[in-house]
Chain A
Amino acid sequence: MQRRAEKPKPPLPKAKAEEAVEIKPAVLGRSSDEELMLRTQKDDRPAFGLIYERYSTSVLSYLYRMLGNLEDVESIAQEVFFRAYRFRATYRYPQKFSTWLFTITRNLAINYSRRRKRSPVRNITELNLEGVDISGDPYQVAARATDDLEKQEEIARVLKALDDLPTDQKEVIVLGVFQDLSYAEMEAITGTKAVTLRSRMFHGLKRLARLIAGPLDEQDEDK
């Protein structure tokens, strides 16, 4: 999905990246996330604008998938980008930018989840997000994915069951499957060993598998 098309380019060597400060706006769009962040550290506001364009959907979707409600998603996501800019000096080139950003996102999501238990639910007067109506309904998502009614049912059931998974299993599925992050990246973000993350991925999907009846389709396997 959004992340698959947004794989960052490998970061330039440091010296080369320093030289990249003077590149033209047209070339800016072809810079890696890490290069853009390096420029942001030198107060290049347009560079950060590009980072926002590349990652806003990922961050919003991650938060929506993890928190399951829209009440906090907007405010947390705003805070993520605000903090990423304000604390840009803490980014250490050539650390992978996505790892750094998702660490911020995850920490804020955890903090908000804790606070939310103590504070009343707020009302959203105006929703500033797009795609909520379609993507928030598992059956609509399933219907858009396939015409096969049986598969639609399975997809919808699996998606709905995501919220019932233990948080640690749900997190590794959201990060690994939906955000397309490797185990190494997830390890850096969550601070959990890769082998544990593999186990959580396996057992999380095993739970979802129990919801699906019937044998494995031969043609599905070859996708």
Chain B
Amino acid sequence: MAETTEFESDQFLKLLTDALQSGPGTPQWHEAVQRLRADNNKELDEYRLIIKARERLESGQEYRSVRPGPGFTRKVMAAIDADIAAPKRSIPTATIIAILAGVVIVGVVIVVAAMMMKSNTVNPDEPPSDMNGLFTHPLVHGDFGTAIGPEWRTVGVVPVKAGANGLVVAPAKPPEDKDNYRGGGIVTVSPIQANQTFMADVLVRVEHPSENLLVQLFVTDDPNFDEQTAQSASKHEVVVWLQGGDVKVGGLPNDAVVSQKLIDGQQPATVHLSIKAGRQFLTAEASAGNDAVKQLYSGKGELASDKPRYVGVRFKLKGSERPESVTVQSVTIQKP
């Protein structure tokens, strides 16, 4: 049996099948028959029989040829006329049901998608739900009683050391420039992911409030720090610090700085500074002694929402302030 592909490549088979379709009396037919007569190939007899069968079919062209009777034509035309005259058909019930079902399915999909998007979208002007709860799971803690732990690294030119009461500025040669702050402190080695809400709290003992020795709690999304100031190189950080008797918050949108009176006069005090940070939202709080906690800021922060964060404490020093006047007794970072 000839393969199908041969009917494309074999010129005689192509001619033969053309002849079989067009039938006796056509040019293709004559050509095929003449080729068959002239050719002596082994399949000649088979092809001749096929030609003969085609001729018999040609003679039987009347076979099952039927014509429409008047009744049939009347029926067809009546059906068409009825269709023309009929008012436009309303949409079938099944179609309506299918459309309604489709609308309902699409609606459900849209609602679910909207809910999912809503749950995934953080409104930067609102605190994340887990920020208002308790922060009970410690991520990092340091009380610096004997040493600065391995979870911290030091930054800046102002040396810091662990002492019996906590982290303090280490004694050093007074700088020649007495008008500008120099910085030094510690920062977490491991980053905290941006989607992790956390609270950083620092407990500070202030022997006497000073303008020359500041202590700052900061959260930054930049792991690189300026050596002189110990500030993150990009200055992309939120900072709560104690300056004199005031507590201040910086690194806020529009370069705003919030300031409140926290402690009074020259009396020693124990102060809590804390920052709660979500992906985009943050709060800054402070309290002195047994006084109520003061919320200094609550709103959108400037930290990148997709970069990991680093928490640190640093001292800013100028002039010849006594280093031991401010002690960081502990730093605690916790998650809800």
Partner of B77, one of A2, A49, A134, A145: A49
Contact pattern, A 185-223, Cβ under 8 Å of B = 1, otherwise 0: 000000000011011011101101111100111001111
Residues in A with CB closer than 8 Å to B36 are: 221
Closest Cβ neighbor of B48 among chain A residues: A216
Question: Any chain B CB within 8 A of the CB of A112?
Answer: no
A223 touches B64 (CB 8 A): no
Closest Cβ neighbor of A80 among chain B residues: B76
Partner of B21, one of A77, A155, A183: A183
Contact pattern, B 278-295, Cβ under 8 Å of A = 1, otherwise 0: 000000000000000000
Given the known inter-chain contacts A48-B80, A182-B21, please indicate yes or no for A158 contacting B62, CB distance below 8 A. Answer: no
Closest Cβ neighbor of A134 among chain B residues: B62
Question: Any chain A CB within 8 A of the CB of B2?
Answer: yes
A173 touches B57 (CB 8 A): yes
B2 touches A199 (CB 8 A): yes
A203 touches B1 (CB 8 A): yes
Contact pattern, B 50-68, Cβ under 8 Å of A = 1, otherwise 0: 1111111111111111111
CA distance A167 to B63 in the complex (A): 17
CA distance A132 to B59 in the complex (A): 18
A212 touches B49 (CB 8 A): yes
What is the minimal beta-carbon distance from A127 to any residue of chain B, in angstroms?
A: 8
B7 touches A178 (CB 8 A): no
What is the minimal beta-carbon distance from A64 to any residue of chain B, in angstroms?
A: 4
A208 touches B57 (CB 8 A): yes
Identify which of residues 4-30 in chain B touch chain A, using a CB-to-CB cut-off of 8 Å.
4-5, 7-8, 13-14, 16-17, 20-21, 23-25, 29
Residues in B with CB closer than 8 Å to A202 are: 2, 7, 13, 16-17, 20, 50
B76 touches A52 (CB 8 A): yes
Question: Any chain A CB within 8 A of the CB of B126?
Answer: no
Question: Any chain A CB within 8 A of the CB of B69?
Answer: yes
Most buried by A among B1, B17, B58, B70: B17
B4 touches A128 (CB 8 A): no
CA distance A197 to B21 in the complex (A): 10
Partner of A142, one of B51, B59, B67, B71: B59
Question: Any chain B CB within 8 A of the CB of A73?
Answer: yes
Identify which of residues 84-133 in chain B touch chain A, using a CB-to-CB cut-off of 8 Å.
84
CA distance A17 to B33 in the complex (A): 42
Question: Which of A19-27, A53-61, A98-106 participates in binding chain B?
Answer: A53-61
What is the minimal beta-carbon distance from A32 to any residue of chain B, in angstroms?
A: 21
Residues in B with CB closer than 8 Å to A57 are: 65-68
Question: Any chain A CB within 8 A of the CB of B321?
Answer: no
Residues in A with CB closer than 8 Å to B255 are: none
Question: Any chain A CB within 8 A of the CB of B73?
Answer: yes
Closest Cβ neighbor of B17 among chain A residues: A198
A205 touches B50 (CB 8 A): yes
Question: Any chain A CB within 8 A of the CB of B176?
Answer: no
Partner of B66, one of A135, A138, A180, A203: A135
Residues in A with CB closer than 8 Å to B25 are: 223
Question: Any chain B CB within 8 A of the CB of A78?
Answer: yes
CA distance A136 to B20 in the complex (A): 23
Partner of A159, one of B54, B55, B63: B63
Partner of B54, one of A52, A134, A138, A205: A205
What is the minimal beta-carbon distance from A1 to any residue of chain B, in angstroms?
A: 4
A212 touches B53 (CB 8 A): yes
Identify which of residues 112-145 in chain A touch chain B, using a CB-to-CB cut-off of 8 Å.
126-132, 134-136, 138, 141-142, 144-145
Given the known inter-chain contacts A57-B65, A205-B53, please indicate yes or no for A196 contacting B4, CB distance below 8 A. Answer: yes
Given the known inter-chain contacts A151-B56, A154-B56, please indicate yes or no for A130 contacting B66, CB distance below 8 A. Answer: yes
What is the minimal beta-carbon distance from A54 to any residue of chain B, in angstroms?
A: 12
CA distance A125 to B160 in the complex (A): 111
A195 touches B53 (CB 8 A): no
Contact pattern, A 91-110, Cβ under 8 Å of B = 1, otherwise 0: 00000000000000000000
CA distance A146 to B48 in the complex (A): 21
14 more CB-based (< 8 A) A-B contacts, given A2-B65, A129-B72 = A77-B72, A82-B83, A128-B75, A135-B62, A145-B60, A151-B59, A158-B60, A162-B63, A178-B63, A199-B7, A203-B1, A211-B53, A212-B52, A215-B48
Q: Which 9 A-B pairs have the closest CB atoms?
A: A128-B71, A128-B72, A209-B49, A198-B17, A216-B48, A209-B53, A223-B24, A145-B59, A198-B7
